[in-house]
């Protein structure tokens, strides 16, 4: 057996492990390192600043872009990743670990004052601010990409109001993002961080999942696979039915509140767990949020109800209610998979395809010549990312035969024997 010493090139490189597990971005680097499609463009990136985002920023930079980056959440920044990127010429950080909410907003504004050409956004953080506070910059932005549902909601509202000043690709809504990142990435990383923070089992517990969209479906499915009794709450009757036929119990939050051991919100909405629910919860109930903003669990309600708080272990805020019950909130109600003390965000393999889709969309925007507005990512780009991922996995798909392609195109099915 050879030496098991760490590769000396990896030892000081906080991106090395992520890079090794990001074959899709690696393929883009290999294809575009010489071509440098982003030469002369400044790309702004707002995202959770962990290693896989670092590999994405590195990919843009290798393809010729000057990159300015800022966090999309003040608590999810990994300092060693920021320092590693910031020392590269042509890459500049507007971020550091442990920013206050005010510093976080100031950093995003400072970034926007540098007049980026493209914006790769998360939660519509930069795109909303550039329109609200830097309209002269918005007028010269070539285009943007959005990676999460919360950002799409804001962009749809902006598009409806006719205020969007440039074209934006809704990368969040691609099949590659929806089928893998949201379901598997959020599902696995949320529960992994609940388990590692609490050092408690999921097996045998009653886990209440609020919201049965892409994220909630992943969380509920993975919780059940770990042996939990799962309860889903919804406001959309179709999603509730889907949860029912998928084998979860459907209930209102008022019904579920007294039963749950662990509550995980993933709705993109506010006050999903609030005072009337907390009043009914058992001693020791644990609350976590996977939605983008820290508004899904009504923190002001918890603060008003509690006579004091404590920190029984890192990443847990315990609310002591006057009747003796204790309610444990993880990661201060922020994204549990990204902002807790042990959080690393989504698995790298998942972020590789999501960032691959954002990269392909951003590159396309340079030549797409689109009017201002919110657009779906062209299907050919999503397929390209899927093909690259399949290649990396050593898997192949069949090709349509000429007769099959013709059959799809023939609305009369004239030669059908039926
Ligand atoms: P989605 O739109 O697919 O699903 C949300 C579901 O919540 C919908 O079915 C909706 O009917 C339901 N809902 C809305 N209000 C509700 C309420 N009061 N009670 C119960 N259900 C309610 O959205 P998706 O993609 O699942 O995203 C959810 C949130 O998670 C968003 O904020 C998104 O930005 C965020 N997100 C977080 C990630 C992470 O890493 N933690 C990754 C991807 C998305």
Per-residue pLDDT band for 1 (boundaries 50, 70, 90) equals: very low
Quote the CA–CA distance of 41 and 174 in Å, as a whole number. 25
b/e sequence 255-276, b meaning 16+ C-beta within 10 Å: ebbebbbbbbbbbbbeebbbee
At residue 233, the 3 state secondary structure works out as strand
**325 token code pair:** 């019950």
What pLDDT score was predicted for residue 4?
Answer: 53
At residue 418, does pLDDT exceed 90?
no
Pocket test for ligand 1, best of 211, 298, 343 (most atoms within 8 A of CB): 211
Q: Mean pLDDT throughout 309-338?
A: 97
210 lines ligand 1 (CB under 6 A): yes
At residue 285, does pLDDT exceed 60?
yes
Per-residue pLDDT band for 217 (boundaries 50, 70, 90) equals: very high
334 lines ligand 1 (CB under 6 A): no
- What are the tens digits of pLDDT across the range 324-343? 999 999 999 999 999 989 98
Atom nearest to 182 CA in ligand 1: 43
Cα three-residue angle 127-356-365, rounded to 5 degrees: 50
311 Cα to the center of ligand 1, angstroms: 28
What pLDDT score was predicted for residue 2?
Answer: 45
CATH class of 8-173+347-393: alpha beta
267 lines ligand 1 (CB under 6 A): yes
150 lines ligand 1 (CB under 6 A): yes
At residue 202, does pLDDT exceed 90?
yes
Instruction: Locate the domains of the chain by residue range.
Output: 8-173+347-393, 185-339
Q: What is the pTM of this model?
A: 0.88
CB atoms within 10 A of CB 27: 20
Q: Mean pLDDT throughout 336-360?
A: 94
- What are the tens digits of pLDDT across the range 387-417? 999 999 999 999 999 999 999 998 887 555 5
The region of weakest confidence among 50-64, 200-214, 372-386, 398-412 is 398-412
- Correct CATH for 185-339 of 3.40.80.10, 3.40.50.720, 3.50.50.60, 3.30.420.480: 3.40.50.720
Residue pair 47/120 in contact (Cβ under 8 Å)? The answer is yes
95 Cα to the center of ligand 1, angstroms: 27
């Amino acid at each position: 057996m050879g030496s098991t010493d760490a590769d000396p090139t990896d030892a000081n490189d906080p991106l090395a492990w992520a890079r090794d597990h990001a074959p899709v971005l690696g393929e883009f680097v290999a294809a575009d390192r010489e071509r440098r499609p982003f030469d002369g463009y400044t790309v702004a990136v707002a995202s959770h600043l962990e290693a896989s985002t670092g590999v994405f920023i590195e990919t843009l930079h290798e393809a010729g872009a000057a990159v300015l980056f800022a966090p999309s959440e003040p608590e999810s920044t990994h300092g060693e990743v920021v320092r590693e990127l910031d020392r590269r010429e042509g890459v500049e950080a507007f971020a550091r670990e442990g920013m206050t909410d005010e510093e976080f907003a100031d950093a995003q504004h400072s970034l926007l004052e540098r007049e980026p050409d493209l914006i790769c956004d998360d939660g519509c953080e930069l795109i909303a601010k550039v329109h609200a506070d830097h309209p002269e910059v918005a007028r010269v932005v070539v285009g943007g990409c959005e990676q999460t549902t919360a950002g799409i909601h804001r962009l749809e509202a902006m598009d409806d109001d006719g205020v969007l000043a440039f074209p934006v690709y809704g990368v969040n809504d691609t099949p590659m993002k929806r089928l893998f990142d949201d379901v598997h990435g959020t599902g696995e990383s949320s529960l992994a961080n609940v388990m590692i923070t609490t050092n408690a089992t999921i097996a045998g517990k009653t886990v209440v999942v609020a919201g049965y969209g892409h994220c909630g479906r992943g969380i509920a499915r993975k919780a059940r696979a770990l042996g939990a009794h799962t309860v889903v709450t919804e406001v959309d009757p179709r999603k509730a039915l889907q949860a029912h036929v998928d084998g979860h119990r459907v209930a209102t939050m008022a019904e579920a509140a007294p039963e749950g051991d662990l509550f995980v919100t993933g709705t993109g909405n506010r006050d999903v767990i609030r005072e009337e629910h907390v009043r009914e919860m058992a001693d020791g109930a644990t609350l976590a949020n996977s939605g983008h903003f820290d508004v899904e669990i009504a923190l002001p309600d918890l603060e008003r109800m509690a006579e004091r708080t404590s920190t029984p272990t890192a990443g847990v805020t315990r609310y002591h209610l006057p009747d003796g019950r204790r309610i444990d909130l993880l990661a201060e109600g922020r994204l549990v998979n990204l902002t807790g003390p042990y959080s690393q965000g989504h698995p790298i393999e998942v972020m590789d395809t999501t960032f691959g889709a954002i990269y392909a969309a951003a590159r396309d925007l340079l030549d797409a010549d689109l009017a201002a507005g919110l657009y779906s990512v062209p299907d050919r780009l999503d397929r390209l990312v899927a093909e690259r991922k399949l290649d990396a996995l050593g898997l192949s798909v069949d090709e349509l035969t000429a007769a099959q392609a013709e059959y799809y195109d023939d609305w009369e099915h004239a030669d059908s024997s039926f």
